[in-house]
């Protein structure tokens, strides 16, 4: 699976990129036919606080699964997004078999 990560208006460090790749590649254990994954990282200013937005798109044959999470850190957002995508993949897999 190909994981493409894009950071908007900032440069993501290597540890964050490694964390994202590990979390997204772990999704292959739930569904084998994942074609690619796109991760978009953004900063959102809301007053004095900067929220972090992680948007993850998983491309599978016949569908695209999308999740968007906003948290205080990118790690939290990606972790929550990956668990949400895990549920979506399991649901998609059961529909394919049924």
- Residue 78 token pair: 């990606």
Q: What is the pTM of this model?
A: 0.92
* Cβ-Cβ contacts under 8 Å for 19 (sequence gap 6 or more): 75, 78
pLDDT higher for 11 or 47?
11
Number of domains in the chain: 1
Tokens of 50: 């900067």
14 is written with which tokens? 């290597």
CATH assignment at residue 10: 3.30.160.100
56-93 confidence digits (pLDDT tens):
999 999 999 999 999 999 999 999 999 999 999 999 99
Q: How confident is the model at residue 34 (pLDDT cuts 50, 70, 90)?
A: very high
The domain containing residue 76 runs over which residues?
A: 2-97
């Amino acid at each position: 699976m190909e994981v493409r990560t894009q950071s908007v208006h900032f440069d993501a460090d290597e540890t964050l990129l490694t964390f994202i790749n590990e979390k997204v590649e772990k999704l292959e254990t739930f569904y084998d036919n994942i074609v690619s994954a796109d991760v978009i990282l953004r900063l959102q200013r809301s007053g004095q606080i900067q929220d972090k937005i992680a948007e993850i798109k998983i491309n599978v044959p016949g569908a695209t699964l999308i999740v968007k999470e906003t948290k205080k850190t990118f790690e939290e957002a990606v972790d929550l997004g990956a668990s949400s995508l895990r549920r979506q993949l399991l649901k998609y897999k059961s529909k394919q078999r049924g």
